[in-house]
């Protein structure tokens, strides 16, 4: 697993947390480097940790999708567990998002920004899975019954491929927060204040 570019991660963190002035770039780099880097890359994925956890990537999961004419379709892709680790053993459902090879997104205008983690909808995880560079589409969550997922894991139909490293998990929760907890635009905020 090759990880993600350290420089891209630092640039993303500066955008995600703009309260830090530019001169703290060295401090942000030092903080990230404490987690360990190799060849100027930060490792986001690792072999699976002992217990299943948020951010684990499972091999092929059937995800529901819709065609352009509104018909239900099925795509198979690796899936990342989005559900919090503490809820995995007590909630009836598990939320997953599909993982795709980065090259699938070449037609998008923002393609070059995906690998820098600058596109809200995508969490770039770098090399892993079956080779090549991979992206989690966090804008396409799907819920599965925990009991069914556990049975498929127990039967060997689904396996855990990777877990997130500590820095990978921090990056994931940052990406997830940026996607789903951004502030409203100023006109919506104004309206909310005057309801």
pLDDT digits (tens, 9 = 90+) for 51-81: 999 999 999 899 998 888 989 999 999 999 9
Distance of alpha carbon 1 from alpha carbon 66, whole angstroms: 32
Per-residue H/E/C for the chain: CCEEEHHHHHHHHHHHCCCCCHHHHHHHHHHHHCCCEECCEECCEECCCCCCCCCCEEEEEEEEEECCCCCEEEEEEEEEECCCHHHCCCCCEEEEEEEEEHHHHCCCCCHHHHCCCCCCCEEEEEECCCCCEEEEECCCCEEEEHHHHHHHHHCCCCCEEEEECHHHHHHHHHHHHHHHCCCCCHHHHHHHHCC
More confident residue, 40 or 20: 40
pLDDT digits (tens, 9 = 90+) for 92-141: 999 999 999 999 999 999 999 998 888 989 999 988 756 788 999 999 99
pTM for this prediction: 0.80
Question: Domain limits of the chain?
Answer: 44-182
**Class of the CATH-defined domain 44-182:** mainly beta
């Amino acid at each position: 697993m090759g990880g993600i570019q350290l420089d891209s991660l630092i640039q993303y963190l500066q955008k995600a947390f703009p309260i830090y002035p530019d001169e703290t770039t060295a401090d942000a780099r030092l903080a990230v480097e404490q987690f360990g880097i190799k060849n100027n890359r930060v490792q986001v994925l690792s072999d699976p940790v002992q217990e299943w956890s948020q951010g684990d990537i499972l091999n092929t999961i059937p995800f529901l999708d819709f065609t352009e004419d509104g018909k239900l379709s099925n795509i198979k892709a690796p899936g990342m567990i989005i559900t919090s680790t503490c809820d995995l053993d007590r909630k009836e459902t598990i939320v997953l998002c599909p993982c795709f090879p980065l090259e699938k997104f070449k037609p998008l205008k923002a393609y070059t920004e995906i690998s820098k983690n600058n596109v809200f909808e995508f969490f770039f995880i770098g090399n892993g899975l079956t080779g090549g560079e991979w992206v989690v589409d966090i804008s396409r969550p799907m819920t599965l019954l925990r009991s069914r997922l556990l049975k498929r894991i127990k039967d060997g139909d689904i396996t855990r491929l990777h877990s997130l490293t500590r820095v990978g998990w921090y990056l994931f929760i940052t990406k997830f927060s940026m996607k789903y907890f951004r502030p409203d635009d100023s006109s919506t905020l104004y309206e909310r204040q005057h309801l």
